[in-house]
Amino acid sequence: MKAVGLITEYNPFHNGHIYHLRKAREITGANVVVVVMSGNFTQRGEPTILNKWQRTQAALENGADLVIELPTFMAVQPAHRFADGAIRLLAALQVPSIVFGAEHPDWDFDQFVQAEAHFMKDGFARYNATFATQFNQELKQATGHTLTEPNDILAFAYHKAIVKQRVGIKPVAIARQGSQYHDQSITGTIASASAIRQAVLGGRPVDQVVPKQTANDLSHLDSIPDWQILYPLLRNYLIQAPIGELQTIYQMTEGLEHRMKRAAQQSLTFNQFIRQLKTKRYTYSHLLRLCFYTVMQMREDQVQMHLQQPYLRILGFSNDGRQYLHTIKKRVSLPLITKCGQAERDHLLNLDYRAGKLYQLFTPYEQDLKRAPVMISGSGTVKE
């Protein structure tokens, strides 16, 4: 069986993702689509609008064959670490190629990887600017391009991870269809995930841009997941915890613990809090991830320990996905996990389990303990 890999968040799953699944099969000739998907929190550190089981079901019903969860300690990370984790799992699953969307699929991203290696060798502390700004200046000189669009940045990160890990995965970029990543309008049958989330928040219909089951799930949300709901937990912890304890939080650097404690003491809403934190030095994505690490009380040593013990958590599969797993399982070096019991909860899946409990502030449904993979009959191939 020939597989192709996709790295996704599906926040939420929409018609553009159906196109991506179909195109991946068409380009590669694969008969099995393996999806590595973030769990209940995104790369930016935000809660997903639908939980991971709903998004898994949607993916399997619309073209995916096997859905693997990208663990929390890999998923809620900057682009290069997010990509590195996902490529590591796909390589373990013997996937020979990945297909991903990009704003500029014709760019030579391997050339960008070489340019960064040269840049790092020469040193980058030459200007009073961030690494990204300095690198883009050098990249512009070397290639005539800059990395500013989100999917181009991820495309670069995938290429870089493949080179770094020396795995035989072929990266294939395709053009995004319909709306751009940050487009907030819905005009056709394909819209950005961001536009869909904004429409749901505003009570506007999204039926034309998402599959029927996703539309139904979005219309029956117990509450719309949002940082404002999590903020009381974050605020209380920041106010109560000693500075020395806050300093142990993953990625808590450069005195941010003092800034976060002060902002929590002065801010009654999350929007007020995040505005007080924001400076030119830190992006909103960086700060949102740090908020997630803080409310989870994730420490540097915990993250490093988990990074040394990756695993393959199966969220769902079709018959073809099950058969593919059976074919490769003797060659898979990472643990394959189908259920989270007490041992997994307390060890390998501890951070995922804790993230799931945090997510249960939005939904009454258990997210991990004793949950079995989603199974559908037949293949994940969409019937025309």
Binding positions are 7-20, 101, 151, 176
d(CA 332, CA 315): 17
Region at 365 (left for phi over 0; alpha for psi -120 to 50; beta for the rest): beta
Dihedral angle sign, alpha carbons of residues 77, 365, 50, 25: positive
Strands 66-70 and 312-317: what pairing? antiparallel
Q: What is residue 202's DSSP assignment?
A: T
Copy the structure tokens of residue 99: 């297909």
Copy the structure tokens of residue 112: 């960008």
Radius of gyration (Cα) for the chain, nearest Å?
21
- Selection from 261, 259, 299 nearest residue 279 by Cα: 259
d(CA 217, CA 219): 5
Q: Which amino acid does the sequence have at 272? A: Q
CA diameter of the chain: 59
Q: Which amino acid does the sequence have at 65? A: D
Find all residues with CB under 8 Å of 69, minimum gap 6, and list them.
36, 37, 38, 39, 52, 313, 314, 315, 352
- Annotated binding site for ATP, which residues? 7-20, 101, 151, 176
